[in-house]
Amino acid sequence: MKRTDAIHRISELLDSEDVTTTNTSMRIPKALQASASLAVRELGAATSTTALTASALRLRLEAIVVQAVLDDHYDQHPEARATLAELALAAAELDGHPLAGDPERLRRAAAEIIERHPDADADDVLLWAEAQAVRFSA
Amino acid sequence: MSHLVLLDNEAVQALGTPDHPKHRRVLSHLQVVAQRTRRGEAVRVEVPTTVRVEAGWDRSAPTWALANRLRIADAVLDGTHADVAAGIRDEVAVSVTDAHLGAAMRSTPRERVTVITSDPGDMRAVAGTKSVTVVTI
């Protein structure tokens, strides 16, 4: 199966309204299963451990599919890939964060953070820029 | 905290056309949404169906392949939303698509709402008393 077909099929399956369930042979660590049971029973995290597992798996798969689509698009259109500073600005804008009005500070924060943490993402930059802003205003 | 991100007509146009001057900018917001989803945050991107009509986004058309694959859901104009949208048009003189955007903002159960738009004034008007973050592209 080609990668694009796989992405398309996963997306289709995620949208499926078929609620038929299946028993799986999936093996998960006992401690993880126990912690999920506790979260459901004591914290009301979901209606059941099955619901908790299914919803976490769905969220993860949706993220994987969207990132795969974006990565394919960036491969075809490298100019469409935003810089870390641009992503930090987008993160600030989505949140209505005051730093959305200070792209220069975000650019500096992105440049600083990427030196130590090459895998940093937009929210890491935003947090760092906010910490810097607080530090300098104190 | 659950978060709804809405796209207006120009955001959709920009998304659908790689050489659109705002393509990269709109994509940067969707990239952040993807990163946050990966972290387990409940973020959902929606486009009102009337916006899709205005923008010419036909989900069966291959030219919209990128937008189709980014898991952007339809905010459907059902009877309830049509009532809210009609009320908005009664309050402020806006287009049907803007009223539909307003209905989507006002009706969502999600705690946070952001709209990506080229028309911030109208978006603030249709939001009414609902707290909405407006991102101007």
Contact B27 A93 (CB under 8 A): no
Chain A nearest-CA residue for B33: A91
pLDDT category, B92, cuts 50, 70, 90?
A: very high
Specify the residue for token string 């050489």: B19
Look at residue A38 in the predicted model and tell me its pLDDT: 96
| A82 closest CB neighbour out of B31, B33, B133 | B31
Q: What is the spatial order of strands in the sheet that B43-48 belongs to?
A: B73-75, B43-48, B3-7, B112-117, B133-136
Distance from B80 to chain A by nearest Cα, in Å?
A: 23
ipTM of the complex in this document: 0.95
pLDDT digits (tens, 9 = 90+) for A75-114: 999 999 999 999 999 999 999 999 999 999 999 999 999 9
pLDDT tens per residue, range A29-76: 999 999 999 999 999 999 999 999 998 899 899 999 999 999 999 999
φ, ψ of residue A45 to 5 degrees: the values are: -65, -25
CA A120 to chain centre: 12
Cβ–Cβ of B69/A69 closer than 8 Å?
yes
User: C-alpha distances in angstroms, A104 versus A94, A108, B71?
Assistant: 17, 6, 32
Give pLDDT tens digits for B5-29: 999 999 999 999 999 999 999 999 9
Q: Who wins on pLDDT, A25 or A126? A: A126
A–B: how many Cβ contacts below 8 A?
Answer: 88
Q: Report the predicted TM-score, pTM, of the whole model to 2 decimal places.
A: 0.91
Give contacts of B5 with chain A, Cβ < 8 Å: 94
CB B13 within 8 A of CB B55: yes
Residue B31 banded pLDDT, cuts 50, 70, 90: very high
**Short-list A73, A101, A97, A105, CA closest to B31:** A73
